């Protein structure tokens, strides 16, 4: 062992090792609320000074340490593993510790320079031009959405997030008789569910969920991703019952509107919406007929696109409730009931302007794709059927690396499609 110098010399070197990055000044605009004050929420603007690569959480803590310790924000690990510091930054649900302050600032400037709203898409960050980064727009920080606020940036996750989590029976339902050793399972099945195990329960996806905004009872992205963790686990013996339950629940898997917000918000690559879609597909494969007609509705979408390339809305309702030729000639009573029940929704769609072209509702009016485009669409369908690749970050890495030949040695996990086959 080499002799060290005196400890004083050591630590002086250590001190020199501290990052000497240049600090910059940023303005934060934070949503404050103290229920004890008797006043409503308000915005507070303040300046912080720190290295652009430090996080928005570092900025909040700097203000808390130096200026006002009464600012409340949950935080612990500072490294995106404990899931405490879920907030909205410039309108985007995320973790405060994971958002670099420099990037957040560029984003705020760019959003102000374009739409004037901080709700512009996240991609804007990457594309931001240097000219726009010199602005002085404040970085907007608010508590997460879809949850009541307790104080400042602290939300009540118990009454929302955790209650929904408990809804999905979030523990392994085994056969009650554990073997002497471990259960033997396909290796890929464990890697597969690790993607959902990676969820840190931060609530960013719940905060960003548009379906939950419309239906507060929606089980939601985090809890449904948790549900996949058990459905996809070959050791769970009640997968089918779980699928049935989640398909039948009017606030279950078919309540998701496919908006991608949760995928965007998730700091851990859990991709909750993907997990919901996997639950739907498994429910379909198990031929679970749900009272929400969710599976048929989804199948109708797919069928129409395959046939016409774009969505022919004149066919959608009919295909959803009475699929096939026979269904059109002799629709079942349930289909007629479903069709009639959809009328108010259709009327609301027309009134609210969501359905803008009335002629589109007339069968046969829908335009066809030009040339042989429809053939291309069909080929895409065929290709997708043949190569049903599951994107799982623990297996394939980032998407851009999928193209690299050395990544191709691994085939996508069979187990993730048919988790029970080798049991």
Q: Is 70 in the site for another protein (CB under 8 A)?
A: yes
Structure tokens at 145: 């959405």
Q: Is 385 in the site for another protein (CB under 8 A)?
A: no
For residues 267 and 338, which CB has a smaller minimum distance to another protein in the complex? 267
Q: Is 184 in the site for another protein (CB under 8 A)?
A: yes
For residues 169 and 248, which CB has a smaller minimum distance to another protein in the complex? 169
CA distance 165 to 220: 9
Number of residues that bind another protein (CB under 8 A): 89
At closest approach, how far in Å is the CB of 70 from another protein?
4
Per CB under 8 A, which region of 276-284, 349-357, 362-370, 403-411 contacts another protein? 403-411
How many residues in the chain? Answer: 423
CA distance 409 to 407: 6
For residues 79 and 214, which CB has a smaller minimum distance to another protein in the complex? 79
Q: Is 40 in the site for another protein (CB under 8 A)?
A: no
At closest approach, how far in Å is the CB of 244 from another protein?
21
For residues 204 and 288, which CB has a smaller minimum distance to another protein in the complex? 204
Residue 351, CB half-sphere, CA atoms under 13 Å: how many?
Answer: 6
Helix (H, G, I), strand (E, B) or coil at 45: strand
Per CB under 8 A, which region of 70-78, 208-216, 302-310, 338-346 contacts another protein? 70-78
Nearest to 235 by CA among 39, 89, 394, 415: 415
CA distance 249 to 269: 26
For residues 67 and 213, which CB has a smaller minimum distance to another protein in the complex? 67
CA distance 111 to 90: 9
Structure tokens at 41: 């929420």
Residue that has been written with the tokens 């009272």 in this structure: 291
For residues 197 and 210, which CB has a smaller minimum distance to another protein in the complex? 197
Q: Is 371 left (phi over 0), alpha (psi -120 to 50) or beta?
A: left
* One character per residue 74-113, x = contact with another protein (rule: CB under 8 A): xxxxxxxxxxx-------------x---------------
Q: Is 299 in the site for another protein (CB under 8 A)?
A: no
Structural element, H or E, at residue 62: helix 56-66
CB of 287 closer than 8 Å to CB of 305: no
Binds another protein (CB under 8 A): choice among 29, 151, 360, 378: 151
For residues 17 and 358, which CB has a smaller minimum distance to another protein in the complex? 17
Q: Is 68 in the site for another protein (CB under 8 A)?
A: yes
Q: Is 194 in the site for another protein (CB under 8 A)?
A: yes
Binds another protein (CB under 8 A): choice among 166, 326, 337, 379: 166
CB atoms within 10 A of CB 368: 11
CA distance 203 to 200: 8
Q: Is 159 in the site for another protein (CB under 8 A)?
A: no
Q: Is 175 in the site for another protein (CB under 8 A)?
A: no
Nearest to 284 by CA among 305, 266, 298, 302: 298
CB of 71 closer than 8 Å to CB of 63: yes
Q: Which of residues 118-137 bind another protein (CB under 8 A)?
A: none
Binds another protein (CB under 8 A): choice among 41, 187, 341, 363: 187
Per CB under 8 A, which region of 16-24, 313-321, 351-359, 360-368 contacts another protein? 16-24
In degrees, to the nearest 5, what angle opens at C-alpha 263 toward C-alphas 249 and 125?
A: 150
At closest approach, how far in Å is the CB of 379 from another protein?
30
Per CB under 8 A, which region of 249-257, 286-294, 299-307, 394-402 contacts another protein? 394-402
Non-local CB neighbours of 65 within 8 Å, separated by 6+ positions: none
Q: Is 263 in the site for another protein (CB under 8 A)?
A: no
Q: What share of the chain is helix, strand, coil (3-state, %, to 5)?
A: 50, 10, 45
Q: Is 47 in the site for another protein (CB under 8 A)?
A: no
Structure tokens at 50: 């720190």
Q: Is 395 in the site for another protein (CB under 8 A)?
A: yes
Q: Which of residues 207-246 bind another protein (CB under 8 A)?
A: 230, 233, 235-236
Helix (H, G, I), strand (E, B) or coil at 102: helix
At closest approach, how far in Å is the CB of 17 from another protein?
2
Q: Is 23 in the site for another protein (CB under 8 A)?
A: no
CB atoms within 10 A of CB 213: 12
């Amino acid at each position: 062992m080499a002799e060290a110098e005196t400890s004083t010399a050591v630590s002086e070197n250590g001190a020199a090792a501290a990052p000497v990055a240049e600090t910059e000044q940023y303005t934060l605009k934070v949503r404050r609320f103290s229920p004890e004050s008797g006043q409503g929420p308000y915005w507070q603007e303040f300046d912080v000074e720190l290295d652009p690569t430090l996080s928005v959480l570092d900025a909040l803590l700097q203000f808390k340490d130096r200026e006002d310790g009464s600012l409340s924000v949950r935080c612990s690990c500072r490294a995106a593993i404990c899931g405490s510091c879920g907030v909205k930054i410039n309108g985007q649900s995320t973790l405060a510790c994971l958002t670099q302050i420099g990037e957040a600032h560029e984003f705020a400037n760019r959003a102000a320079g374009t739409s004037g709203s901080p709700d512009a898409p996240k991609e804007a960050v990457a594309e931001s031009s240097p000219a726009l980064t010199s602005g002085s727009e404040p970085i907007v920080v608010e508590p997460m959405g879809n949850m009541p606020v307790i104080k400042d940036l602290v939300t009540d996750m118990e009454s929302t997030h955790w209650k929904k989590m408990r809804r999905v029976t979030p523990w392994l339902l085994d056969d009650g008789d554990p073997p002497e050793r471990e259960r033997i399972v396909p290796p890929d099945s464990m890697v597969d569910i690790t993607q959902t195990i990676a969820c840190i329960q931060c609530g960013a996806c719940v905060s960003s969920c548009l379906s939950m905004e419309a239906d507060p009872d929606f089980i939601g992205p985090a809890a449904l991703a948790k549900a996949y963790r058990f459905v996809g686990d070959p050791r769970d013996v009640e997968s089918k019952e779980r699928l049935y339950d989640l398909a039948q629940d009017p606030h279950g898997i078919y309540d998701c509107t496919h908006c991608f917000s949760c995928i965007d918000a998730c700091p851990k690559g859990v991709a909750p919406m993907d997990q919901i879609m996997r639950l739907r597909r498994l429910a379909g494969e198990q031929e679970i007929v749900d009272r929400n007609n969710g599976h048929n509705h989804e199948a109708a979408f797919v069928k129409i696109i395959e046939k016409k390339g774009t969505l022919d809305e004149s066919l959608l309702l009919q295909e959803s409730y009475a699929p096939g030729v026979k269904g059109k000639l002799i629709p079942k009573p349930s289909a007629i009931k479903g069709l009639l029940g959809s009328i108010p929704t259709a009327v609301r769609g027309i009134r609210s302007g969501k359905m803008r072209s009335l002629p589109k509702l007339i069968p046969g009016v829908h335009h066809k794709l030009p040339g042989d485009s429809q053939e291309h669409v069909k080929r895409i369908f065929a290709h997708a059927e043949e190569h049903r690749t599951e994107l799982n970050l623990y297996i394939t890495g980032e998407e851009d690396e999928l193209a690299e030949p050395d990544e191709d040695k691994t085939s996508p996990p069979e187990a993730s499609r048919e988790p029970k086959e080798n049991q």
